[in-house]
């Protein structure tokens, strides 16, 4: 499905504020409410709009520490990659995990309340993942810029 300029305006608006009413969205993008509603439904049906979520303030829910973890595996067999990916998806503190090209096999974004909490996550989960040969963790000192909005 191709998206046109009106779809892009809808998507930009919803990425900034997903809780606005259809009437507010329609007014914001200069479209009738019924036409706007049909377009949003189509974007949802086509899975362009994947979901609606609440973005939380990490400090307010005791997740002040962000750690980027590079993981190298002991091999590249499909079964090992599949086992690793299955297990990493079960770790509640991992926000993202990416299969990489480069020096590490995977790059993860992990949140923790502090360094002691990350040590617990490391011992309990990360070090026990299937096929892990090497872990390298980098702690974010400060988030300079962050967005969830994809450029359209």
The domain 58-139 having CATH identifier 3.40.50.1220: the answer here is no
**CA pseudo-torsion sign 9, 10, 16, 21:** positive
Task: Please state, in angstroms and as integers, the Cα–Cα distance from residue 52 to each residue in 44, 93, 113, following that order.
Answer: 10, 20, 25
- For the segment 7-30, the average pLDDT, to the nearest whole number, is 97
Asked whether the beta carbons of 132 and 70 are under 8 A apart, the reply is no
Confidence of residue 118 (pLDDT cuts 50, 70, 90): very high
Give pLDDT tens digits for 46-88. 999 999 999 999 999 999 999 999 999 999 999 999 999 999 9
First to last CA, the chain: 15
Q: What is the pTM of this model?
A: 0.90
Delimit the domains of the chain by residue range: 5-45, 58-139
Give residue 147's pLDDT.
95
Rounded to the nearest integer, the mean pLDDT of the chain is: 97
pLDDT at 152 over 90: yes
CA proximity to 4, closest of 39, 47, 55: 39
Average pLDDT, integer, range 31-35: 97
Asked if residue 1 has pLDDT above 90, the reply is no
Residue 110 gets which letter from DSSP? E
Q: Among residues of the chain, what percentage have pLDDT more than 70?
A: 100
* Predicted local confidence at residue 38, as pLDDT: 98
CATH number, domain 5-45: 1.10.10.10
Note the helical H segments in 46-136.
78-88, 115-124
How large is the average pLDDT for residues 9-15?
A: 97
Q: What is the mean pLDDT of residues 129-134?
A: 97
pLDDT at 95: 98
């Amino acid at each position: 499905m191709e998206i046109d300029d009106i779809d892009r305006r809808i998507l930009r608006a919803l990425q900034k504020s997903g809780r606005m009413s259809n009437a507010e969205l329609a007014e914001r993008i200069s479209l009738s409410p019924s036409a706007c509603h049909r377009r949003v439904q189509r974007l949802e049906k086509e899975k362009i709009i994947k979901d609606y979520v609440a973005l939380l303030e990490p400090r307010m829910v005791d997740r002040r520490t962000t750690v980027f973890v590079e993981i190298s595996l002991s091999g590249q067999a499909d079964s090992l990659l599949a086992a690793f990916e299955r297990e990493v998806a079960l770790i509640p503190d991992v926000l993202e995990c990416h299969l990489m090209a480069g020096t590490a096999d995977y790059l993860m974004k992990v949140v923790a309340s502090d360094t002691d909490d990350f040590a617990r996550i490391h011992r309990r989960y990360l070090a026990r993942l299937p096929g892990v040969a090497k872990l390298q963790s980098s702690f974010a000192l400060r988030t300079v810029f962050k967005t969830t909005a994809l450029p359209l």
